[in-house]
Amino acid sequence: MSGSIKKGRLRASADLSGWADGVGQSRKSLRRVARSYEYVEGWGRAVGSRGRVLRPTSVKEVRAVLAAARRAGEPVCLRGGGNSYGDASTNTRGHVLDIGRMNQVLDFDAETGVAELEGGVTIAQLWRHALPRGYWPKVVSGTMFPTIAGAAAMNIHGKNNFKVGTIGDAIEAFDLVLANGELVTCSRSQNDDLFHAAIGGFGMLGVMTRVRIRTQRVHSGELQVHARSSRNLRHMLEQFEEERANADYLVGWIDCFGRGLGLGRGLVHVARYLEPGEDEDPEATCRLAHQELPSSILGFPKSQVWRFLRPICNDLGMPLLNLSKYTAGRLEEKKAPFRQPHAAFAFLLDYVPDWKLAYGPGGLIQFQSFVPKETALATYEALLERCHQRGIVPYLGVFKRHRPDPFWLTHAVDGYSFAMDFKVRPERRQELWDHCRDLTEIVLAAGGRFYFAKDLTLPPGTARRFLPPDRVAAFEELKGRLDPDGRFETQLYRRLFRS
Ligand SMILES: Cc1cc2nc3c(=O)[nH]c(=O)nc-3n(C[C@H](O)[C@H](O)[C@H](O)COP(=O)(O)OP(=O)(O)OC[C@H]3O[C@@H](n4cnc5c(N)ncnc54)[C@H](O)[C@@H]3O)c2cc1C
């Protein structure tokens, strides 16, 4: 890995011109930046603290914020939409720089589907812009609210990770404002080290202010979907492998309360894009009105549905809810394949706004591990067994297939991931953390990895146990060189890399 960072206005090619604006920092710009004291929390609500949040609207203002932080000798925590479950975009010290107001779609090439976006553009904005033009983002998360910079900084994956890789694989270039205020453009041909380190670099190397990203041509606003019920985890893995060659998307839901022969039982959804001509009226299905999620569920305004879930979000209600979903899945399998709008398939979790509130005041954490295909079955069965032995069972389990990628700190492996949502009861918090430590050891012993966007419980030092040592060393060398004063910091960084 070569070392030097080219500074100033860098261009991979003529068409990257104008990305760097070359304007210096000034106190005048800082005065214009919106700011407030706020409680800033992780998405799962299990961690948070009060802090000063600054919301710049331009590169100039980003630089002004960084200059002010340098003068004050304070750290800056970068934050996008705040959709990371744990402490990846929270900080108990210094400032929070929220990129959300830099949210313009700067360009969209209707010939190629390449979009140029300010860092604060959300996935929701991107798909809404792209779909009426016949494109869909190549990679989306289970929620549409992350910003493109936050998604790139975590190198998010979708239900198609096995097929198209992570979001980093779709990114062509980005602008990064370094700790000293310099702006560099990174791509596979310019500052490629920084390109591969900052994607997945969880906001530790600089502020992404602009991202150029490819989207996917689609010939319909709908996907062809079918469901397969899985008797247990082994069955689900077999189904994934059977479907992998022909599917564009694969996702498994797991009833974590199943035991014995039903350990890891669940439901797999398989989806593929429609070929040209399969949809008789693609213009209509690509319209936003066709995509919007319903505004009510069973007649109730969906903004209130979490209130109905709250009384059952416990160890009595959740086994029943999971059982009824599993039973419904066995019926769904018998249905003919059906068509579903992209947004409905991709953003199922957004159907019930604020569903996390159903978990109560302690919130929730997600424990998502990534395990090579060779050890996945035994490992995930062991995780589920351990949950039952301990009496701490996840209320939601989601299963996906992945493939490796070239980003330095990537979580992805040639294997599977299992995301487990646990309710946090304030009085039993330590017990849950101890449980997650046990699960962590099982995953590490199987050669598995973890994902910073979903973490709150990994003990200090764990990241060095699952990431390749040469990558970590190179990342730390880059961080030391570009950010010698440790300007960019989060609670997660301090927990995993500094303690
Ligand atoms: C319901 C739900 C479902 C999800 N499903 C998935 C999924 O299917 N797949 C998946 O991969 N993830 C998933 N996620 C996680 C989510 O996609 C990631 O946490 C994503 O990074 C959130 O983006 P954000 O804009 O909210 O960023 P934040 O959570 O605010 O920040 C994420 C990271 O980006 C850094 N950052 C923020 N802005 C910048 C910037 N301008 N420059 C550099 N660094 C920056 C932060 O410091 C932090 O480290 C899900 C989250 C939720 C809540």
Name which residue sits closest to atom 18 of ligand 1, judged by CA: 84
Name which residue sits closest to atom 3 of ligand 1, judged by CA: 142
pLDDT tens profile 122-162: 999 999 999 999 999 999 999 999 999 999 999 999 999 99
Q: Please state which of the ranges 100-104, 294-298, 354-358, 360-364 shows the lowest mean pLDDT.
A: 294-298
Contacts of residue 420, Cβ cutoff 8 Å, sequence gap at least 6? 256, 366, 367, 368, 383, 387, 394, 396, 397
Residue 51 or 105, more confident: 105
Please state the rounded mean pLDDT for residues 359-380.
98
Ligand 1, atom nearest to 157 Cα:
11
Please state the rounded mean pLDDT for residues 192-213.
98
The torsion angles phi and psi of 67, rounded to 5 degrees, stand at -65, -40
Q: How far is the CA of 323 from the centre of ligand 1 (A)?
A: 31
| Pocket probe mutation, ligand 1, options 53, 55, 61, 84, max atoms within 8 Å of Cβ | 84
- Does pLDDT of 16 surpass 90? no
pLDDT of residue 251: 98
Ligand 1, atom nearest to 166 Cα:
11
| Pocket probe mutation, ligand 1, options 62, 79, 103, 418, max atoms within 8 Å of Cβ | 79
Ligand 1, atom nearest to 451 Cα:
11
Q: How far is the CA of 55 from the centre of ligand 1 (A)?
A: 17
Q: How far is the CA of 85 from the centre of ligand 1 (A)?
A: 8
Confidence category of residue 297, pLDDT binned at 50, 70, 90: confident
Residue 15 burial (CB count, 10 A): 15
- Does pLDDT of 327 surpass 60? yes
- Does pLDDT of 14 surpass 70? no
pLDDT of residue 449: 98
Please state the rounded mean pLDDT for residues 437-459.
98
Contact 119, 209 (CB under 8 A): yes
pLDDT of residue 111: 97
Residue 485 burial (CB count, 10 A): 11
For the chain, what percent of residues have pLDDT higher than 90? 88
What's 222-460's CATH class? alpha beta
Ligand 1 first shell, C-beta below 6 A: 43, 78-84, 88-89, 99, 119, 141-143, 146-147, 149-151, 153-154, 156-158, 202-203, 207-208, 349, 453, 490
Domain range annotation of the chain:
222-460
Please state the rounded mean pLDDT for residues 314-338.
97
Averaged pLDDT of the chain: 93
pLDDT of residue 25: 44
Bridge partners for 378 per DSSP? none
Q: For residues 181-200, b (16+ Cβ closer than 10 Å) or e, as one string? A: bbbbbbbeebbebbbbbbbb
Residue 349 or 379, more confident: 379
| Pocket probe mutation, ligand 1, options 96, 156, 175, 364, max atoms within 8 Å of Cβ | 156
Cα separations (Å) of 113 from 135, 148, 278, 385? 6, 16, 21, 46
Name which residue sits closest to atom 20 of ligand 1, judged by CA: 151
Please state the rounded mean pLDDT for residues 473-482.
98
Please state the rounded mean pLDDT for residues 236-264.
98
Contact 8, 46 (CB under 8 A): no
Counting every residue written for the chain, the total comes to 499
- Does pLDDT of 19 surpass 60? no
pLDDT of residue 9: 33
pLDDT of residue 351: 87
Q: How far is the CA of 82 from the centre of ligand 1 (A)?
A: 7
pLDDT of residue 26: 59
pLDDT of residue 303: 87
Q: Which residue has the tokens 């009226």?
A: 281
Q: How far is the CA of 281 from the centre of ligand 1 (A)?
A: 35
Q: Please state which of the ranges 17-31, 44-58, 149-163, 328-342 shows the lowest mean pLDDT.
A: 17-31
Cα separations (Å) of 356 from 24, 40, 88? 42, 16, 18
Q: Please state which of the ranges 32-36, 244-248, 377-381, 449-453 shows the lowest mean pLDDT.
A: 32-36
| Side chain identity at residue 435, one-letter code | H
Q: How far is the CA of 146 from the centre of ligand 1 (A)?
A: 6
- Does pLDDT of 8 surpass 70? no
Please state, in angstroms and rounded to a whole number, the distance separating the CA atoms of residues 313 and 311: 6
Ligand 1, atom nearest to 78 Cα:
47
Confidence category of residue 7, pLDDT binned at 50, 70, 90: very low
Q: How far is the CA of 29 from the centre of ligand 1 (A)?
A: 27
Q: How far is the CA of 445 from the centre of ligand 1 (A)?
A: 27
Please state the rounded mean pLDDT for residues 376-393.
98
Ligand 1, atom nearest to 206 Cα:
43
CA angle 424, 122, 300 (to 5 degrees): 60
Confidence category of residue 342, pLDDT binned at 50, 70, 90: very high
Q: How far is the CA of 346 from the centre of ligand 1 (A)?
A: 16
| Pocket probe mutation, ligand 1, options 65, 154, 352, 366, max atoms within 8 Å of Cβ | 154
Which of 304, 303, 244, 295 lies closest to 268, judged by CA? 244
| Pocket probe mutation, ligand 1, options 83, 157, 177, 178, max atoms within 8 Å of Cβ | 83
Bridge partners for 49 per DSSP? 40
pLDDT of residue 29: 85
- Does pLDDT of 499 surpass 90? no
Q: How far is the CA of 245 from the centre of ligand 1 (A)?
A: 29
- Does pLDDT of 301 surpass 90? no
Please state, in angstroms and rounded to a whole number, the distance separating the CA atoms of residues 186 and 365: 33
